[in-house]
Amino acid sequence: METVNGMFLGPRVVAREGDRLVVKVVNHVPNNISIHRHGIRQLQSGWADGPSCITQCPIQTNQTYVFIFTITGQRGTLFWHTHFSWLRATVYGPSSSSLSKMFLNDLPNPARNIANRTFTAVEADATYAKPLETNLLVITPGQTTNILLKTEPIAPNASFYMLARPYFTGQGTFDNTIVAGILDLANSQFPVDVPQTTADKKYFFTVGLGNSPCPKNQKCHGLNGTKFAASVNIISMALPSAARLQSYFFKKSNGDTSILGTESHPLHLHGLNFFAVGEWFGNFNPKNDPKIFNLVDPVERNTVGVPSGGWVAIRFRADNPGS
């Protein structure tokens, strides 16, 4: 099993806002690898973002790469993970900026509950959020949230069960096992700088679950021997014969898929935060739905879950060239 410094989870990276980090990665495994700091705003340091074949070549076996970046305007808990193939299943760990309690989750679409208690969510994706009191929190893959839990004065040292289970809306077989852990306890106030002017660029993406042909000499478990494949605008990613940036420049793309149905799916932006200004079920109505956008106090994030069979609208400033 591939790990970092022999640890699983990998080592925790702790920094304060404004710190400049220098991280040296030496690849001692037979696979290519790269490291992505999920949610870190790589302001003018896109080469430290980590997506292999996008912002950097992967780190080859016995080779070294030094990531240099600065923590700017972020506080809370994020995480880092490899950005090459399925190595991310074991090569990952937490990153914390400033002082905060950490409730880190990278399970697929979990719904999380602390037994018989409400709690207050105060931060999302390393950005302060307007406090929300609840007893259930749904986190999509890639999201992080800090919560405040108030205990009863008569039981200051009590322990609580914390339950989580996957939230899956697509087709196919999925493990919905509930897992449990034990938690041992030892307004104008929340300004939001949402872009208010008319957007300079508008993009419309559709995400679906489909199937594509099974590769030769492989066994696939989709319908009629095909393999499941998520798609964007009815296109599933297939590795191009040339480098991805070169393929984009020459407007060449590969892959397509049929659509089986809808599913809840996360959306993540590298190098940028965005404001989730609206979401709902059903088809997006470009005439009526913008009227209900929240441009006053939406949550600022780097990852958002798109409702199954629904839509989400985001706004962001493209202020980070190269991201």
pLDDT, one tens digit per residue, over 216-248 is 888 887 778 888 777 777 776 666 566 555 665
Domain hosting 28: range is 13-97
pLDDT band at 103 (very low <50, low <70, confident <90, very high): very low
Beta partners for 111?
A: 138, 165
Task: Tell me, yes or no, whether 294 lies in a domain.
Answer: yes
Residue 177 sits at φ, ψ, to 5 deg, of -60, 135
Element (H, E) at 148: strand 145-148
CB 67 within 8 A of CB 49: no
Q: What is the pLDDT of residue 61?
A: 92
Number of domains in the chain: 3
Task: Tell me, yes or no, whether 191 lies in a domain.
Answer: no
CB 308 within 8 A of CB 169: yes
Task: Tell me, yes or no, whether 3 lies in a domain.
Answer: no
| Residue spans of beta strands (DSSP E) within 190-302 | 207-212, 227-232, 258-261, 265-268, 274-281, 299-301
CATH of residue 146: 2.60.40.420
Task: Tell me, yes or no, whether 4 lies in a domain.
Answer: no
138-169 pLDDT, tens digit per residue, is 888 888 888 887 766 555 566 777 788 877 77
How far is Cα 92 from Cα 206, in angstroms, rounded to an integer?
29
pLDDT band at 257 (very low <50, low <70, confident <90, very high): very low
Task: Tell me, yes or no, whether 80 lies in a domain.
Answer: yes
C-alpha radius of gyration, the chain, whole number:
21
In this model, does residue 64 exceed pLDDT 90?
A: yes
The rounded Cα 323 to chain-centroid distance in angstroms is: 16
Task: Tell me, yes or no, whether 115 lies in a domain.
Answer: yes
